[in-house]
Structure 1
Amino acid sequence: MLRAMSGILRFSTRRGGAVLSPLTPEEEAEEDEADAGVARGGFATDEEVRAVWAKHGL
């Protein structure tokens, strides 16, 4: 997904805004892994999402 934008939005409090910068090799690998998970249908169920929310008091 982010790869389609050829970068990632980074927020910097020092600069007071957002900057678009290229993905690092590690981020690129994470995107590849996420894309593969989506292709396999690897999504959390509503129940799993609610459990995580509950765990963190949300």
Structure 2
Amino acid sequence: MLDKKWVKVPPHLVDTLSLTRGVYLMISMPFYPTQRSCLAIKLIALVIYIKLGRSPRYQAC
């Protein structure tokens, strides 16, 4: 089941949409991320989550 394409694609779409929306919010807000650090911290955590998700966790048998 994990070899199916419909199982592999949605996580990438969710990550892309989350990152895009976060960057959009950061750009559209009238104040700098340093004034409200919660959005900047969430975006940094999302990037770390995406990077860790791309690292090889399992080796094929």
Question: TM-score, normalization: structure 2?
Answer: 0.34
| Greater helix proportion | 2
